[in-house]
Every structure is written in C-alpha cells, then in structure tokens.
Structure 1
Amino acid sequence: MMNSLSWNVRGIGRLKTCRALSNLMFKYKPNIVFLSETKQKKPRLKRLRDRFRFANYFYFEPEGIGGCLALCWTNNVHITILLAGRNIIDISIRDREDKSRFFSFVSGPPKKE
C-alpha cells in the first residue's frame, strides 16, 4: 500500500515543527512526503531525509526568504520527475505492483490571477 504526506510546513527549522513532522511520520509511515515552504537550504533537508530514512529525494531551491519544495520517497515506489519549477513538482509513480499514477504537488501564493 502506498501512503503519502503533503504539508506546507512554513519553515522546518523550528523544533516544534520538527517534532510535529516526526509524529506524523511515525503515525502514518508514508512512502512519499512532499514539503512546501520549508525555507531551508539543501544540507538541512538532506539531514531530514536521512533522519526519516528516505532513500530518495528531489529538492527545488528556495528563492529569497521563502519557498522551497522538497519531495522524499522510499524504495517501495519508483518516481520519475516529469516537471519541476518554483511552485510545482509533477511526477509519475510506479509502485511494486507496477501500477502507474501521476501526481502534481503545487505550492503558490493565494491569488486569483
């Protein structure tokens, strides 16, 4: 079974936020985790990936003081990044049963235009 977690964390650098993420990870044991608005550089996100024992990750660097998208996944799923940008990661997923699915992880400003 594939399980995923998506969270707009608004800064993963705070201890309280890291604890909340740890609790969610322990409770749901997701195969895929998408984090947006982490406001962190690559070394910090790599440490998080290692802490939660994800074999793979894709990271889109923040611009300025906000942003940043991170996608982590286990070896139980095979992910191909189809498109990545400041506000989107578009992927194809193939699981152990060789079923394919497509997901778009999006994060952007709440504006109509």
Structure 2
Amino acid sequence: MRTIVWNCRGLGRPLTIHTLKRICKSHSPEIVFIRETKNQSRQVEAKLRVCGYENWHIIHPEGVAGGLVLAWKDSISVQIISSGEFFVAAEIKEVGSSEVWAFIGVHLSCSEQIRSLQFEELTTMSQHLEGKVVIAGDFNAITRQAEKEGESKKSATTLATFTNFIDSNELVDIGMMGHPFTWTNRRQ
C-alpha cells in the first residue's frame, strides 16, 4: 500500500499544494499523513479535495504551529482508533482483503522530557494493537550523531532513549527519500 508521510510546514502555501498534487498524481498513495498543516479544517479539507481525497481525520494546530491530517482513498477502510496532539492511530484494511494493520502517524516534541513521555504512550498503544503496526512521521530524535549536523551534540542518554523505543517496539527504519536534512531548504 502506497503511503506518503510528509512534514509540509504549512499546507496553505501554493507551492506546497502544487507539490502535494504532483506527488499524489505520480505515486497515487492510498494514505497520506501530513504534519505541520498550520491551517484550520476548512482550508485543509479544501486542499485534500483538490488532491483527490474525500476521507480524513484532522488534528487542529495549536495557534500557527502543528496540525496533523490522515487522509485516505475509498479503496481502503480506515477506522480511527485514537488521536491526540502528536499522533493519529488508525486501523487499515484494503477493500477486498482480510488483512488488517495499524498505522500510527506521529509528530513528536522537540523537548526531550515531553518526547520521553510520548515514547511511553506510543509503546503502550502499540502493545495493545493486533497484527502489524507501522509508526511513521517525525520523531524529532536520532539514533546516532551522524544523523545530525551542527555544533550541539545529543547526549548518549537521548540517543539511547530513541534506540530503546525502536528496539522495544521491534521497529525497522525503512529509510527515506530526498535530502538527508530537511532543513537545508535546497541550499548547498
């Protein structure tokens, strides 16, 4: 099943909508999880319709920051299990298939203390789910220093916390496409 997971940094900009439409047209994802929509429901819903989605679950942003949306095509059945400020959890089933799996889209805090609590909540949630579980999104965490550029190094404890979360949930990093550092903004 094709799934797009994207931190769009604001769904209201024309270039963002153009890019989303292009991605949806060329890859035809059944599921789209977008973080940092930074827009209220009406604007987000209009953008999703333009991209061919009629089904969605929206978490409103806090002021001008955040916001999550899980959108899906009619070719799959989606049951929202739970959602909150930093996640959307859903049960996914392809029409005509008996296989059911869970998707948890996340956008975790930059604060180490808050993120640790979020890791605990996600672990508890995933342990109560049956079958395959996919957890995707922005964890705002790294497993090794090479995943970060800049002066400030992450502590060994911070790295271990994320690694332990990955290991305890038996997660596998499937990698990513595009620039290794999303903040580069196409600069050399």
**Shorter chain as normaliser: what TM range?**
over 0.9
Once the two structures are superposed, the pairs formed by residues 11-90 of structure 1 within 5 Å of their partners are 11-90=10-89
Q: Which runs of 5+ in 2 are unaligned?
A: 114-188
CA offsets per residue over residues 48-92 of structure 1, 9 Å max, x none? 121122121111111121011011111111111111001000111
Give the match's secondary structure for 1:16: helix
Percent of residue pairs identical: 26
Name the TM-score, length of structure 2 as normaliser.
0.57
Q: Tell me the equivalent position of 2:181.
A: none
Name the TM-score, length of structure 1 as normaliser.
0.92
Q: Distance in 2 between matches of 1:90 and 1:44?
A: 22
Q: Tell me the equivalent position of 1:112.
A: 112
Q: Distance in 2 between matches of 1:55 and 1:19?
A: 18
Structure 2 residue 15 is the aligned partner of structure 1 residue 5: no
Greater CA drift, 34-43 or 12-21:
12-21
Whose relative contact order is higher, 1 or 2, with alpha carbons under 8 Å and at least 6 apart?
Answer: 1
Q: Distance in 2 between matches of 1:52 and 1:74?
A: 10
Q: Tell me the equivalent position of 2:101.
A: 101
Q: CA deviation at 1:108?
A: 2.0
Bigger Rg, which one: 2
Q: Is the 8 A contact 2:21 2:50 kept in 1?
A: no
Q: Distance in 2 between matches of 1:55 and 1:71?
A: 11
Which structure dedicates a bigger proportion of its chain to strand?
1
Q: Tell me the equivalent position of 2:118.
A: none
Structure 1 runs (4+) deviating above 6 angstroms are none
Q: Distance in 2 between matches of 1:33 and 1:7?
A: 8
Q: Distance in 1 between matches of 2:29 and 2:90?
A: 17
CA offsets per residue over residues 18-47 of structure 1, 9 Å max, x none? 111111111110011111101011111111
- Superposition CA RMSD, Å: 1.1
Which structure dedicates a bigger proportion of its chain to helix?
2
Give the match's secondary structure for 2:58: strand
Q: Distance in 2 between matches of 1:52 and 1:18?
A: 8
Q: CA deviation at 1:109?
A: 2.4
Q: CA deviation at 1:110?
A: 2.8
